[in-house]
Structure 1
Amino acid sequence: MRLKVENVTVKIESREILRDVTLEVEKGEIVALLGPNGSGKSTLLRTIFGILKPVKGVVFFDGKRIEKIEEISKIAAYLPQESSDTNLTVLDVVLLGRTPHLSGFKLPKNRDLEIAKRALEEVGMAEFAERKFSELSGGEKQKVLLARVFAQQPKLMLLDEPTAHLDISAQIDIMEIVRRKVGSGCSALVAMHDINLASMFSDKIIMVKNGKVVYAGEAEEVLTEESIKDVYGADVRIKKVGRSVYVIPKTRGERNGRRVHIICGGGSGRDLIYMLSEEGYSVSAGVLNVLDSDWEAVIDVDGEFVEEAPFSPISDEAHEKNLKFIEKADVVVLSNLVVGKGNLKNLVAAKKAAELGKLIVIEKTRFELRNFFGKEAEEIYEEIVRKARVVRSEREALYEIRKVLDRGGHANSRR
């Protein structure tokens, strides 16, 4: 479905919330709606769906002007930002999506039931059909609510922050589901708060400020340091990885000239990265997958890093860069990371740091509980701990780093 919003102005009481908003969503597109809280994103979605009436302007669905919400809901589905909990079963929640297609007070028919079950299959929640909605996790609930949207069989989806309050894995799951649905011929206008997630999954970006569309286009065109400063008031850096654009906060702090490199991933180095930055150390980290929480943390403290594409194993090139960072560092820390096929090279890099006499190992959890690679990883780790200083927490690691750097020595073996 092609959506066109033309010169729409909306007032709530005496306050003008939207002003002369014009935008388009083509069939088969995901368009991300970005802007700070209070910018008018939710109001715009509610207006398109017919919940709010504009004082000026028109909304067209495939070139037709439809104003009654009963008619709009037969072709468009709206997922609000907040949904109330319920003790209904998952299947009953999804069946509510069939309401616009039922006449009067008619009960769902077998066809409606089949459509609801198929929607649950689309979001990977078929086995939860008889569970109570209230018993699900946040990510599971959001998938069920998406299934309710799918059961409505919309040509256009209006989604208000569908990834809010979810961890990064759940956010990606939700957006992958939305992308698959759009790929089947639907369209989606999605209000989002995560700029990087919007860049990854959207075909176009629309940025809203004070109720007006101020930027619109593809991510590479729209997401600039200047536009984000204008809309959010934030100083950022823009980094391009492949065809994706990533927004990185700028931070500045006093540094004491000592360099600490952290071998981490999956959030295992995040706390130490911030602690070291606060202490004034220059922090580097690697090898990290783009969008990993450790990747975000080292960017946040304006540190250096070696990166790899999202969900990709460490390449030889990235591994070599990591070794160079290790050589330059005064101290290297191996975090309490999980080791698998994709990041075994990080363990090999830690072995090199241990051989150089500059490694501190954080062992909060026994290695056998974090080793998903097998015997080879176990043997490498045993070699590492024989030559490294092993501690049990980030605080202990920070204490050891201070001692080593204050005396100008090495983090050599001592358990």
Structure 2
Amino acid sequence: MLICAVPGWACRMSVAHMTLAPSSPTEGSAAAPCLPTLYVRDARHLHVALADGALGMNVQSGSLSLGFYLRSKLLGKVRRRVQEMRYTSSTSTKIDLSHNESARLATDALLDRGLGAYREALTLEAEVDFLSQEEKDYIMRNVKNPSSSGSELEEEQGQDGSDAVSQTSVTYFPVDSESDPPELEYGWPASEWSYHLQGMPTVEVFLQSDRTVSVRDLLREGISKATSVLAIVMDTFSDVEIFCDILEATRKRNVSVYLLLDDANLHLFMEMCANLQIGSSHLTRMSVRSVCGDTYCAKSGRKFTGQVKEKFVIIDCTQVLAGSFSFAWLSWQVHRDLAVLFKGSGVKAFDLEFRQLYASSKPVPGFPPPSPSCPSVQLTD
């Protein structure tokens, strides 16, 4: 039998079990925390998390180390959830969908001072490491310093004595929100109020594992039947045959094409065009623009932007093919993808999403806007 003591606690341990309980306070000493007796069968390794502290014990080579660490604050939101899952409890907890301030502070630290500061913030906030290595690498690769215009805005905001740095993380960006969005150069064949005339929404699901239906062939057939407009949002575009299908639709059937490509993978499309010797003169009735994901901005003004992961093709504003596929050989041949075909009023959500993405898109260098002389699709608004 081995007996050890820490202030306010008594620990009695044998090979079979261990009992830990508050000891009686001596005269002039502070009372121990009011905690229940803990009984552990396996003394080889003990790690118990208490409501207001954590107990750690390791028995190795006959030596015993015991430490009790009182916490001055609550656990981080995610760590608290993990602890609830690690230690069984009869009480059920309600899902917490609130903002995680600890995660924001740690992410800001990563943006401003790197991985070391990120780990320090996690320790101070008693939070788990919630970012994978891939996510950390992405953030560090894409971090940007505040622009000169942003710095001027900070100085103006700081003249009244307020904290200029803290003002940079607000969601109001005059440079972006007060500028005119780009117009749909060739018009749009349907207004958002006309969807109720197209009947109930219908949905069909197509899986890559179903060899009777090819998602790529389904897409190409839809492009070949388009009569007025094709609106495409895609992360990767390097499929030459689909590119030719789109060019044929614009040149032989006067179909207007709006192509929004993820900015991070835009170079793949540009390289394909260069290899095929296709330039802007060949892209009649076709608008090519780049688009990004959302932007995370720290209080210091440093920020990074995400990618576009949603992928869909609107055909004549009457049907949409959406899914996990990309316009690339690997996606069609070896990757497991799925596609969902929406018709009827189910197209409305994609119509509105495309217009919002187009409003935030940017022109692609080397692909100038269309000539004003180009005829447009008649708007029905």
Report TM bin, short chain.
Answer: under 0.3
**Structure with the higher fraction of residues in helix conformation:** 1
User: Whose Rg is larger?
Assistant: 2
With normalisation by structure 1, the TM-score equals 0.25
> Structure 2 length as normaliser, TM-score?
0.27
Larger relative contact order (CA 8 Å, sep ≥ 6): 2
